[in-house]
Structure 1
Amino acid sequence: MADARIRQPKNPVHNATAMYPSLLDATPLASLTAHEQLPAATAPASPPPRLLDQLRARLRTLHYSIRTEQVYVDWARRFILHHGKRHPRDMGAAEVEAFLSHLAVGRNVSAATQNQAKSALLFLYREVLGIELPWLSEVVSAKQSRRLPVVLTEREVRELLMQLNGTTGLVASLLYGTGMRLLEGLRLRVKDVEFTRREILIRAGKGNKDRVTVLPENLIAPLQQQIAKSRALHLKDLAEGLGEVWLPDALAQKYPRAGVTWGWQFVFPSAQRAIDPRSGVERRHHLCEQTVQRAVALGARRAGIDKPCSPHVLRHSFATHMLQAGYDIRTVQELLGHADVATTQIYTHVMNRGGRGVLSPFDKL
């Protein structure tokens, strides 16, 4: 039957290729003629990263801290939402000035907060959008007020520390005994505590600077006990297949095993492990700063201290009491890590008795 015969294709190779596309992949492209060259395979273009993701990536490239990253991203988001979700590239000086004015007038923020928002927007335009805007530099910064720090007397410090106990009490005692900032104390590593020389090496402090401060004699035994507790937690994590601590910069790539060594562990580790927000790795980070802040505030209320009291007040008290004890202001400057001695001079306001050491005429009546 003529109708029952199967008609052979004119080009069996083309038919086989259509039925079995893998044959086309096996054909070397060099063997094809110019007329038969296949078009280059084009991968689907991935959408560009979102603006806030670009901001995060740029901050991490320049090794900004995670706290600065969170603050800058938050200000960029507020700026965009304030102007109806318009892209910053489509906005200019008027919108920036309006936003900064809204913060000062509508939100009644401090000068430091307003300047922080300006710095975040300046970074967004210069480093992320690649737009050099002279007008942004010309936006007037809010003038910061000169405030005297809150300082506790020695009796108030003693009563405050008596109301604290455990790990938070040791952290507060260390802040007052060394003049460290709260995060500098919480980020303290085991390898940076030198008991023999009675000193503490503070790594990557404010401004990413290292410095050495004093280790009080009365804190040696409590610190040794705390380090023993930290070691027990570390051994427990190692037994569970964990125990790796966060390392700054690229040390984790340069020294892959350094994260699990004992010397790099935190002196004040957290009681619970957590997921690193950047890498997604489960680690045991240091003690949360809010824990110490709440403990100090509660201890101040129990001690009957009416002054605003925070862990940073203990740093102010350390500097003031050192100057009162007769130590040179340059020595105190080095212990505090101030780049300019003018910053340290603010603590000299307590060196004069009363109001500038003068006698009020009322006392002569």
Structure 2
Amino acid sequence: MTKPPVAVLLLAATLSQASTKAAETPEQQAAAAAVGREIFQDTRFSNPVGQSCMSCHVPQSAFADSKALSTGAVHGREGRRNATSLMYAALIPNFSQEDILEETGEQIWVWQGGLFQDGSSRTLYEQVKRPFFDHAEMNVCSPADLAAKLRAAPYARRLRGDLSDEDWANDGNVNQRCYRALVEFLKEPMFRPFDARIDDYLAGSPDALSEAEKRGLEIFKTKAKCADCHLLIPGAWPKPLLSDYGYDNLGAPSHGPKDPGLGGHTGVAEEMGRFRAPTLRNVSLTAPYLHNGSIATLREVVEFYNKRDEEPGRWGKTDFPETVNHEDSGKLGLTDQEIDDLVALMDAFTDRSLLEMRKANAPFPVAPSATPDSWKMRAYFPDWNHAVPPLPPLPARPYPPTPPYHSPNETP
């Protein structure tokens, strides 16, 4: 495959930077996030009306969906993947390539980061646009339709900010403000509280975990190989994100039409069926599991990783068996006790602020007061420079976005 010329990539980055200009002061950032909070809950955009971002990203489920596949605004339509948690989503790295030095001395390049489970949106800003126009989600007719609804929204004046009459009449400018507001909202402290018991333990509080959870943590780091991908050490953020955001084919049971994942937009055969590793933060609240919601409980997920290759009849077929990773999972040799301890550990990954929200039946969680605000942390966000950086020089692979979903029985 031919790599896009560097000049083209740099031009794309420049255009993206121009079109996604963000807040330049703490006050502007906070104002944008406040409008984004309202947009997130607004059910007037969908066609037909009645669906909002929060319809599929439910706060009580750690901003995930308890249904395997989320239903869209149009009756009878559903997506093809499980709606993932938005907790810590603003910290997911932009889609890029990382070079790794193998034990053999060979240097290889691997994909990491990106939004949606296949990485088909390179940045969070790109990601928040697509659900509006996806026929299996909000089904907005056109960018002009979205802009008209934004101009009529009760928060339109605040969304407009300092735009001139001419700029406010431009649909692209109006929609850009909407997307940027959603991004700023997803950066808010309530989405990144880092107030789980595992945080206390890793910070030096041994009593934060039970004895079963401590045993589970040891299995997590050794025999089960979980920590190989769900990192317990800080990386680009000052605290552990519990993921390296790399891509792998776990052999998930088939559920619906075949889903090529990463390979669907890179066009590389060995990347078919690969999906991005999620963070395990709040994983106890986000059932069902895997990219297609094909496994109902955490214990079943651990059993799947443990005996996938020994009990294939239990799990059924998978979409792309030729690219399944058989080296790191599928035959782990965990005992029932070790599985119990590993599952117990997962509760320690749950943020207290979410548990308190659920207990109080509050609409949103409240982060601990010590959580730094978004402006203070702005340089740590992958979104901080508000531009799509050019890809590294190797390997040469295009990255066209996944087309909007169309039901086999529907004409878009």
Higher relative contact order (CA 8 A, sep 6+): 2
TM-score of the superposed pair, with normalisation by structure 2: 0.25
Normalized against structure 1, the TM-score is what?
0.27
More helix by share: 1
